[in-house]
Amino acid sequence: MTKKINIKHSLPAGARKPALTPNALTVLNKRYLIKDNHSEVVETPQDMFWRVARTVAAGEANYKLSTPVDELAFKFYEMMAAFDFLPNSPTLMNAGRELGQLSACFVLPVEDSMESIFEAVKQTALIHKSGGGTGFSFSRIRPHNDLVHSTKGVSSGPLSFMSVFDCATETIKQGGTRRGANMAILRVDHPDIMDFIKVKSDLSTLNNFNLSVAITDEFMDAVKTDSEYSLVNPRDGEVVRRQSATKVFRQIVKQAWLSGEPGIVFIDRMNAKNPTPAAGAIESTNPCGEQPLLPYESCNLGSINLANMVADGKIDYGKLGRTVDMAVHFLDNVIDVNRYPLPQIDKVTKQNRKIGLGVMGYADMLCKLELPYSSPEAVKLAGEIMSFIDEKALDYSKKLGEQRGAFPNFPESVYGRQNPDVPVRNATRTTIAPTGTLSIIAGCSSGVEPVFAISFLRRVMDNTEMYEVNPVFAAAAKAHGFYSEKLLKKISSRGTVQGLEEIPLKYRQVFETAHDINPRNHIETQAAFQKFTNNAVSKTINFGHDATVEDVQNAYMMAYEMNCKGLTIYRDGCRANQVLSTDSTGAAESQVKEAGGLIKRDRPRSLVGKTYQMTTGCGQMYVTINEDNDKHQFELFNFVGKAGGCAASQCEAIGRLVSLAWRSGMKPEPIIKQLIGISCHKPAGFGGNKVLSCADAIAQAIRQHMETQNGVKDDSVASDTQPFGACPECGGAIEYEGGCCVCHSCGYSECA
């Protein structure tokens, strides 16, 4: 336990005042600053940084002090207030408060027994309540239909138990706590692997999980030689059957192309870099995939803002080195002052003392240096910077090891066997994490991702519209005379500066956005950072909508050859606004075209139909579907009980357009595909009853009607549903970043 010490509680005179953007203030007020019982903010951003700084500095009381606690606290404060470094969100939220849980990443074991599975469900609830995210490997659970000796029955398999975890997470989220996120990993040699790969063909399932397949070296060798590999029952280690590696790999690729999931982790590569193999094997990661952890292990993360490490057009390595030292010191202290949600996590975390120091603002740094993100020079610089950070972090961890002692598992670790006379304080030091809300607070680009938008439109609370612009671009545009509101509007509508002749070619090249960069350049950047990162790198490889399955397959092979530890891809538009397939489009066209034009049927005086009650965020909706004498859908009416203004008019407009389509001969399926899964800021319900918007409610009502009429469940449109579209909190646009859905307008993150 941390000793009680005397430390200043008021912010010292002359302390730096953080320069916050309006967006950063909005995020802080909504998510981070302390509120009273009436939900009124009672803390300033300065107060928050000082609260965090003095709480973390108090960890010095456990050791022989080399720096007075109040002096160290002030150094921590200045580092955060300058946005040179920020710790992960739970530390900013909970340090110095009653909860006191400061870590973001956890992994829990799931053994092949009912007791273990439901104990893990309970532990997951406690972690999510404290603000953390959880990762699991379900690879130890026996496959579907396997024998259960105790009951002489059959196993329901890992996927059924994943649904239990998903439901528990949904219930916790509905209870109003900070949203929890999960990672589910299944080994590629598990007999249920094909079901796991395809489970998110229906994107209404497992919405609280990111999915990744644990890929082995044996499997990749089999893919390269187009041969078979073994599927093994985890219950007894027996080979169940042999299967084509190419077939399984192709299914992984196809599913990722369709929906962005599952991702892949190269599990043997992760274990080859496991610093404490005697303590156990790595089976899972945290929800975004960048932090491999042992069962019951946690890790606290933090990120250095590389945009602040540029001076006079060069990297300021002196400042960067000092920031690395202070950040490692900070993160090591967090381990001691942390209040862990479970005693097992407290024990295992302190045996290895892993920390995860990463970076943000990488793309902004490149822009300041006038280097295009996709250039060979940028990739080379990425490796140089991360090599420097990793080396400095190890040096400072050794310094702390001499002062405070090595991590307890050090003697049996890779470091202890290599050089037992040089104690290392932390088993790992570096991790590249996504920094969604942290980068909003710091006013910089996220993680090692490219800039997502140079300029975008923001609507503030009084419906005022304003264009926000990347600060590095704004500075360059003003300095070179091409800045204008008209230009920002044009960039916002296009999403890129490419092709805009009013911007000099040099700056069109420098200010690349995510979709201006080809997948190979993305992977080269990830590989450059991974080479010098102890843990892993969270990064999304962006594809254009017209990318092929082969493009995705090539990316996966490239990531493996370049020694990445995993890969997450996202094809633009693959979950939202899906285009109809050729077959569907052709069928629809054949129905509605006659004699070269559309034929609209006249309405008879009377029709028979059914009314469906749907619960939406706007109130109860009643959807009436009328049919003609041939049992063909003819028209749709809807009424929303509490809605008025735009909501009512939008619903009426949808009803009229659906009716027009039906009277012109279109089948219901294409209409369902276009409407289902559209999100708004006021979803209702959860699980199988979740309604994302009024448009989604209308689509679900049509689908229910079709199921009633046909007498079978309608799965034909499952692959085109989507769990997101608009931000559920502000209605803004959702981006896919670091393996997670994030909103850059308000700071919402699907992965907490």
> pLDDT digits over 181-202, tens only?
899 999 999 999 999 999 988 7
Q: Which of 178, 168, 217, 211 is nearest to 193 (CA)?
A: 211
d(CA 125, CA 466) in angstroms, rounded, equals 40
Token pair in block for residue 108: 């829990």
Looking at residue 419, its pLDDT comes to: 95
d(CA 427, CA 414) in angstroms, rounded, equals 9
pLDDT over threshold 80, residue 215: yes
Tally the domains of the chain: 4
Within a domain: 494: yes
- CB-based burial of residue 549 (10 Å sphere; 0-12 exposed, 13-18 middle, 19+ buried)? middle
Query: Are residues 89 and 145 both part of a single domain?
Result: no
- Mean local confidence (pLDDT), 250-270: 95
**pTM metric for this prediction:** 0.80
- Mean local confidence (pLDDT), 496-523: 93
Query: Are residues 119 and 267 both part of a single domain?
Result: yes
Within a domain: 457: yes
Query: Are residues 164 and 273 both part of a single domain?
Result: yes
Per-residue pLDDT tens over the stretch 23-74: 899 889 988 999 999 989 999 999 999 999 999 999 998 898 667 899 999 9
Query: Are residues 277 and 156 both part of a single domain?
Result: yes
Within a domain: 551: no
Query: Are residues 428 and 466 both part of a single domain?
Result: no
Q: Of 461, 488, 512, which one is at a domain's C-terminal end? A: 512
Confidence bin at 650 (pLDDT 50/70/90): confident
Within a domain: 672: yes
DSSP state of 365: H
Confidence bin at 720 (pLDDT 50/70/90): very low
From 274, 286, 470, 626, the catalytic residue? 286
Per-residue pLDDT tens over the stretch 280-311: 999 999 999 999 999 999 999 999 999 999 99
Query: Are residues 625 and 691 both part of a single domain?
Result: yes
Within a domain: 552: no
3-state secondary structure (DSSP) of residue 724:
coil
Looking at residue 469, its pLDDT comes to: 85
Query: Are residues 424 and 306 both part of a single domain?
Result: yes
Per-residue pLDDT tens over the stretch 558-582: 999 999 999 999 988 786 433 222 2
Strand pairing report for 310-311 and 593-594: unpaired
State yes or no: is 286 an active-site residue: yes
Question: Please, are residues 685 and 615 in contact by the beta-carbon 8 Å criterion?
Answer: yes
pLDDT over threshold 80, residue 414: yes
3-state secondary structure (DSSP) of residue 710:
helix
Query: Are residues 328 and 466 both part of a single domain?
Result: no
Query: Are residues 90 and 111 both part of a single domain?
Result: no
* Residue 613 CB partners (closer than 8 Å, separation 6+): 620, 621, 622
CATH number at 243 reads: 3.20.70.20
From 105, 288, 574, 694, the catalytic residue? 288
Q: Taking all residues of the chain, what is their mean pLDDT, rounded to a whole number?
A: 87
Within a domain: 60: no
Per-residue pLDDT tens over the stretch 483-492: 998 898 888 8
Ranges 13-27, 303-317, 480-494, 581-595: which has the least confidence: 581-595
User: What number of other Cβ atoms are within 10 A of residue 48's Cβ?
Assistant: 22
Within a domain: 428: yes
Looking at residue 586, its pLDDT comes to: 35
Query: Are residues 144 and 260 both part of a single domain?
Result: yes
Query: Are residues 458 and 426 both part of a single domain?
Result: no
Confidence bin at 597 (pLDDT 50/70/90): very low
Q: Of 497, 512, 527, which one is at a domain's C-terminal end? A: 512
Where are the extended beta strands (E) located within 260-354?
A: 263-266, 284-285, 292-293, 298-305, 310-311, 314-315
State yes or no: is 746 an active-site residue: no
Looking at residue 628, its pLDDT comes to: 85
State yes or no: is 333 an active-site residue: no
From 290, 449, 524, 669, the catalytic residue? 290
- Radius of gyration, alpha carbons of the chain: 27
Confidence bin at 9 (pLDDT 50/70/90): low
Within a domain: 636: yes
Looking at residue 712, its pLDDT comes to: 67
Query: Are residues 92 and 128 both part of a single domain?
Result: no
Per-residue pLDDT tens over the stretch 325-343: 999 999 999 999 999 999 9
Could you tell me the residue range of the domain that residue 184 belongs to? 105-285
3-state secondary structure (DSSP) of residue 749:
strand
